[in-house]
Amino acid sequence: MKSKILVTGGAGYIGSHTCIALHQAGYEIVVYDNLSNSSREAINRVSHLIGESIEFVKGDIRDADRLREVFAAHQFFGVIHFAGLKAVGESVAKPLLYYNNNVSGTITLLEVMAEYGVKNLIFSSSATVYGDPETLPIDETAPRSCTNPYGQSKLTVEHILEDIAVSDTSWSLISLRYFNPVGAHPSGQIGEDPNGIPNNLMPFISQVAVGKLEKLRVFGNDYNTVDGTGVRDFVHVVDLAKGHVAALHYINNKTSSIGFDAINLGTGNGTSVLELVNAFESNTQQEVPYQLSDRRAGDTASCYASADKAYRLLNWKAEYDINAMCRDTWNWQSSNPNGYQ
């Protein structure tokens, strides 16, 4: 019998790609999403790509009664929890919104999971929980601290999961800390479709290349890095999707529950902003004009992962390189200049 997985936020960027990976691995999927920063069209396209329809439920993770309806109708093996707000700047302006959605919503989800005896969870966390790293590469034992409410909301949920694991040993809770997700499905059918001006570097680059935005602003060119611009660990979204499946397999293959564990998903390599721009231009033959600006408050010079633990526990490692990330991003953006609209 196929295991059935509830994917909260499954219509979003990483969620939609993970639905494809789950299907390929033989899991059944139910997607639960309020569509606040995602599109129903993403799930339509996922259904087309996998050749079968996906059950979609429009609902908010803060709505316990709606969640109960879904849990009562299905026997889930576990939950992959993507549903959350994710814009750093917006979190600074609207902290209560972020704590209400990301923290309170997760508490409601966990309460309903406990009611129905579903105690396997893969949580979508972030490298932002490491704050400004003291040493590189960053491994899972690094100190955690946050510079904004978005990161703080992720870290708060991690603390909640740790406390649950101590209080009840029947839970298996894995927090996947992503570094910088980029790229798109090789088909060009699904990809990153941010609301308004993109917060993240790669969709900003691709929207400049497609003519939606005039030029890229590069914040800071005086960091102690290869070319003075910030260095990040960019990881292909298809690799990330496979990481979630690997984490489910890990839980499935264990003879006992695992409590709480945190695992980085990254390539282990740092790429600077200008290196990414140059790679994008050379892989797409598109020009990306940019303007150098002052450093942005809260940004760190370098941030990249140690992905050794993911390989050791999950047998996972990133396979796509920066060239593939650029090509797949452009394939999506050029085919869908206005995203899913």
**DSSP labels for 116-182?**
TT--EEEEEEEGGGG-S-SSSSB-TTS----SSHHHHHHHHHHHHHHHHHHH-TT-EEEEEEE-EEE
Note the maximum CA span of the chain.
56
3-state secondary structure of 52: coil
- Run of H or E residues at 243: helix 237-253
Beta-carbon count within 10 A of 139 CB: 14
150 is catalytic: yes
Q: How far is 150 from 267, CA to CA, in rounded Å?
A: 23
Closest CA to 325 of 252, 258, 242, 236: 236
Give residues with Cβ within 8 angstroms of 301, minimum separation 6. Answer: 223, 224, 225, 230, 231
* Measured distance CA(332)–CA(194) in Å, rounded: 13
Q: Return the sign of the alpha-carbon dihedral for residues 44, 50, 52, 54.
A: negative
Residue among 26, 16, 28 at smallest CA distance from 55: 28
Catalytic one of 27, 150, 304, 320:
150
The tokens describing 174, both together, are 């894995």
Q: How far apart are the first and last CA of the chain?
A: 37
- What is the set of active-site residues? 150
